[in-house]
Structure 1
Amino acid sequence: MQPTQSLFLATVYRPPGPYTAFLVEFPEFLSDLVVIADNITIFGDFNIHMEKSTDPLQKAFGAIIDSVGFVQHISGPTHCHSHTLDLVLSHGINVVDLNVFPHNPGLSDHHFITFAIATNNLLRPQPRSIKSHAINSQTTQRFLDALPDSLCLPKDVRGQKSVNHLTEELSLTLRNTLDAVAPLKNSKHFS
């Protein structure tokens, strides 16, 4: 069985304006994510002019995502004023079929973006083994017939043992009897 991989999706909105706090908090966010998730996709309106290669925020942001191993997938304008503000970032997973649709002033000043992620069986159900007793209509009678007579202890013997000890003995006897008449069986289920 192959190990289960995690998939993390996040959407980000960074308001325009001061960005000092963002440049401190966002790298911490990314660093935490790559530790807990195998496959990450982050998308949203970052309000960073990615089309301006001389912009200090663009340079700092590019260095941050590069240092943590993220890929930025948007390469053209995503805003009505020809700015690239909306981004799709990924780590450990492929973004495919990315489309930036023409601006529709009736909907937003941003372009509509669609994409898919190639999961490569990431979300395929994984088999797991479950142990259970095979119980049918005859099990009850076989269980009762198999119970030992020792369950009926005389009063003088019961008084010599603590309630906890008697409870543990009863539980063990019932479990052993059930295992004898309806043994545990493994079955595979998909989750």
Structure 2
Amino acid sequence: MQPTKIHFVVIYRPPGQLANFLEELDVLLSSFPEDGKPLVVLGDFNIHQDKPQATELNDLLASFDLESLSTTATHRLGNQLDLVFTQNCTNSNILVTPLHVSDHYFVQFNMTLPSTLKQTPPLVSFCRNIRSLSPSRLSTAVSTTLPTQNVFSTLDVNTATDTQSSTLTTCLDNICPLSSRPACTTPPSPWLSDILCEHRTDLREAERRWLKSKDPEDLEQAAG
């Protein structure tokens, strides 16, 4: 499994009117791709949760499927100013701890990230160009590679079968090697029956004959 990547947005908003803050935050969040990666938006928003500004902020973040972590007060005066919003992850063990060096408290929590599986490698199909295979060449290669008749006749059935199969495979690989190409992932068309496939094959063969001969009769066959 590959490690999950996380998008983090850390915010400090000075106290005062919202001005263009929500519009700028909207533009920023819209710049992140919707690829399923966890997104964490946190920081000192300086927005009291009992004010109309908080409703506007929460509505905006909810439109991005960002969920707010429920915490106690994060400021010495009892206000919840330090906010955490997360997307595509699970949170637990939320703890708010007062600090001696700041009037803001320390917010900590555990995140459980979704696992990311490795991408499946593309499917590959293998084939041989049998049309280019010379039967006489294959026959000669097999006959010269197989053991002599006297040796072959002394082999038991299983050994003789394995020897013949491996010899045929080796000769095919040398004369007509396998080639690879991306496998077709598109499901077959339900209307393309076996009969239509045969007709299409015949028409393509007739077309190839006409391209070589330029004979009008071949052209008629190619035209169906």
| TM-score, scaled to structure 2 | 0.48
> RMSD value over aligned CA atoms?
2.7
Quick one: structure 1 residues 36 and 84, their matched pair in 2 at CA, closer, same or farther if it must change by over 3 Å? same
Structure with the bigger percentage of helix: 2
Matched-pair contact (CA < 8 Å) for 1:6–1:37? no
Corresponding position: 1:80 with 2:72: no
Structure with the bigger percentage of strand: 1
Sequence identity (%): 25
Distance 2:41 2:79 in 1: 19
Instruction: Give the match for residue 115 of structure 1.
Output: 109
Quick one: structure 1 residues 49 and 92, their matched pair in 2 at CA, closer, same or farther if it must change by over 3 Å? same
- The residue type equivalent to 1:91 in the other structure is Q
After TM superposition, give the deviation of residue 30 of structure 1 in Å.
Answer: 1.8
- The residue type equivalent to 1:83 in the other structure is N
Matched-pair contact (CA < 8 Å) for 2:48–2:80? yes
SS at match of 1:77: coil
1:30-109 map, 5 Å: 30-35=29-34, 38-50=37-49, 52=50, 55-101=51-97, 103-104=98-99, 106-109=100-103
**Could you report, residue by residue, the CA deviation over 1:7-35 in whole angstroms, capped at 9, with x for unpaired residues?**
21221111111212101111222222253
Matched-pair contact (CA < 8 Å) for 1:41–1:93? no
Number of aligned residue pairs = 122
After TM superposition, give the deviation of residue 75 of structure 1 in Å.
Answer: 3.1
Corresponding position: 1:18 with 2:17: yes
Quick one: structure 1 residues 37 and 20, their matched pair in 2 at CA, closer, same or farther if it must change by over 3 Å? farther
Distance 1:92 1:36 in 2: 10
SS at match of 1:23: helix
Quick one: structure 1 residues 32 and 85, their matched pair in 2 at CA, closer, same or farther if it must change by over 3 Å? same
- The residue type equivalent to 1:22 in the other structure is F
- The residue type equivalent to 2:86 in the other structure is S
Larger Rg: 2
| TM-score, scaled to structure 1 | 0.56
SS at match of 1:20: coil
Bigger relative CO (Cα 8 Å, ≥ 6 apart): 1
After TM superposition, give the deviation of residue 107 of structure 1 in Å.
Answer: 1.3
Gap runs ≥5 in structure 1:
130-191
Quick one: structure 1 residues 66 and 120, their matched pair in 2 at CA, closer, same or farther if it must change by over 3 Å? closer
Matched-pair contact (CA < 8 Å) for 1:65–1:71? yes
After TM superposition, give the deviation of residue 65 of structure 1 in Å.
Answer: 1.1
Distance 1:18 1:36 in 2: 33
Matched-pair contact (CA < 8 Å) for 2:89–2:112? yes
Instruction: Give the match for residue 144 of structure 1.
Output: none
